[in-house]
Amino acid sequence: MAKHRYKNYMPEDLLEAYTRSADDPEKLDMSDELGLLRSVLSKKLEQSFQDEELDDKTIRSITTLVDKIAKIQTAISDHETKMNHYIHVRSMPILIEAIGRIIKQVVQDEHMVEVISDRIKRLPVLAKSPEVIDVGEE
């Protein structure tokens, strides 16, 4: 849940939309914004061609929209690329179990398996409390 740093400064009618947006778990997904801008661009082009006139202001407006669309597409692509490099937390137990099976197959010394297992359990990402962080040499 977001901190909502700016809620004290917002008018009521904007606060609900702000809170919903700040709490959105998919806040980095810009596909809705991309669709919105593309719709506005289409509408703007349609109106311009119906008027049969593209004045400088309209051209600048269209150029700005196209630039924003390109930036959002880049942001979406970058986000998707980053997300492909992460392991979801729900997958961690499966990954740990697979690593444990590999260790048991490769390491013959039961004591060494226990030492390795203990060190893995103390990894910060797997530790249940912040105090269990030291994974250095004993």
- From the list 105, 107, 115, the residue with the least C-alpha distance to 138 is 115
**Within its chain, how far is the Cα of 36 from the centroid?**
20
Domain spans of the chain? 25-83, 89-121
pLDDT reported for residue 127: 52
pLDDT tens over the chain, length 138 residues: 456 777 788 888 888 888 887 777 776 677 787 788 788 888 878 887 777 667 788 778 878 888 888 888 888 788 888 877 777 777 777 888 888 888 888 998 989 988 888 888 777 765 554 443 344 444
Give the span between the Cα atoms of 126 and 97, in whole angstroms. Answer: 13
- Answer whether 43's CB lies under 8 Å from 49's CB: no
* Dihedral of alpha carbons 74, 68, 4, 32, sign: negative
State phi, psi for 125 to the nearest 5 degrees.
Answer: -70, -20
Compute the distance between CA of residue 31 and CA of residue 39 in angstroms, rounded to an integer.
12
Q: What is the pLDDT of residue 111?
A: 92
3-state secondary structure of 51: helix
pTM over cut 0.75: no
**What is the C-alpha separation between 104 and 79, in angstroms, rounded?**
37
- Residue range 37-72, pLDDT digits in tens: 788 888 878 887 777 667 788 778 878 888 888 888
